[in-house]
């Protein structure tokens, strides 16, 4: 198989973990006799500094023509700490999602037995937790009409029936492939947009009789994720709620550095770790690359290359079991491994299989 991958390393630790992801993907493709090419492109603060645009037209064209995008992270303190900045790195991420029509963000939340002690929750609550958050990505307040002034400001949360139907279809289909339990998260008791979500979900549910569908207010869902994370199988919600809940879900595992994601829709899919750019760690060779590597596994799965994905996941599990880990998840007395060293070990294991 031939694959053409756009590589958007971005800012902060992005270039370091991006290299590991590319190296792992190249090693797997060599193993399975696939032909893969990579085209780098600018985004985020790096793109602003170079051309004044966080998602330049050239980058969009590279992404549009690729089979998939391997993305890392955007964000830089010099923009975060400047409320007057007219252009911000994160605007590049939103532009990429909108221009590529990436309306569905899929974030698996899965615990690793050897790391449950790292979770802030009790082991008996988190062990075995395994669910998927599906977040609508191109609607709601992030893209609705806005006003910002000294005395008044607003962000409009607007959704149309087609926008809701297409993300719910993704969610129902994911539930069919898993344990057939879907939770629709909204705030239908106070928000009109949420009542549309619930109405459409109730209309669609009979088309999936094998799926148990329940409905939960977002505040209750946030509480339930902490009290009983194993309750969930597939969760679907609108953009803002999804942004908050998926970050909450990431803490359940004990490390944001272990969770990948996929954004899919009308055009080229994007695969990325859920963590940010962690600028304080830039260049220090301490960033955990495993979420980036697991994003490569999700990329392979998207193209139905299941054996390739399974190999990536096995090697990641092996690295954790054998304590080949970066500092924030290393056990006491474990070896010292940086980002580069973990990456080199993963490639070595793939080549030895």
Q: State the catalytic residues.
A: 142, 187, 219, 243, 247
Task: Give the Cα separation of 222 and 238 in Å (integer).
Answer: 14
First to last CA, the chain: 20
Task: Give the Cα separation of 7 and 326 in Å (integer).
Answer: 23
């Amino acid at each position: 198989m031939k694959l053409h991958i756009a590589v958007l390393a971005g800012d902060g630790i992005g270039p370091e973990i991006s290299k590991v992801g590319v190296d792992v993907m190249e090693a797997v493709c060599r193993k399975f006799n696939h032909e893969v090419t990579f085209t780098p492109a600018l985004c985020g603060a790096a793109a602003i500094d170079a051309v004044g645009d966080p998602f330049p037209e050239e980058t969009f064209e590279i992404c549009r023509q690729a089979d998939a995008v391997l993305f890392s992270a955007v964000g830089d303190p010099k923009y975060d700490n400047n409320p007057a900045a007219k252009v911000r790195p994160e605007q590049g991420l939103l532009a990429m999602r909108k221009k590529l029509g990436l309306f569905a963000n899929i974030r698996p939340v899965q615990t690793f037995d050897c790391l449950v002690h790292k979770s802030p929750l009790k082991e008996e609550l988190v062990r075995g937790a395994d669910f998927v958050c599906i977040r609508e990505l191109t609607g709601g307040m992030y893209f609705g009409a806005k006003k910002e002034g000294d005395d008044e400001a607003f962000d409009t949360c607007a959704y149309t029936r087609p926008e809701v139907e297409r993300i719910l279809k993704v969610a129902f289909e994911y539930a069919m492939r898993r344990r057939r339990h879907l939770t629709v998260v909204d705030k239908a008791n106070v928000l009109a947009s949420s009542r549309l979500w619930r109405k459409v979900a109730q209309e669609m549910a009979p088309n999936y009789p094998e799926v148990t569908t329940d409905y939960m207010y977002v505040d209750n869902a946030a509480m339930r994720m902490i009290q009983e994370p194993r309750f969930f199988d597939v969760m679907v919600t609108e953009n803002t709620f999804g942004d908050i809940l998926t970050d909450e879900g990431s803490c359940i595992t004990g490390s944001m550095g272990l969770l990948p994601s996929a954004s899919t829709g009308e055009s080229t899919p994007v695969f990325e770790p859920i963590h940010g750019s962690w600028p304080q760690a830039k260049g220090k060779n301490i960033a955990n690359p495993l979420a980036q590597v697991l994003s490569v596994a999700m990329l392979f799965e998207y193209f139905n290359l299941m054996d390739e994905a399974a190999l990536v996941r096995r090697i990641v599990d092996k690295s954790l079991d054998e304590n080949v880990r970066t500092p924030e998840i290393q056990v006491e007395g474990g070896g010292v491994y940086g980002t580069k060293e973990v990456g080199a070990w993963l490639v070595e294991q793939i080549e030895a299989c």
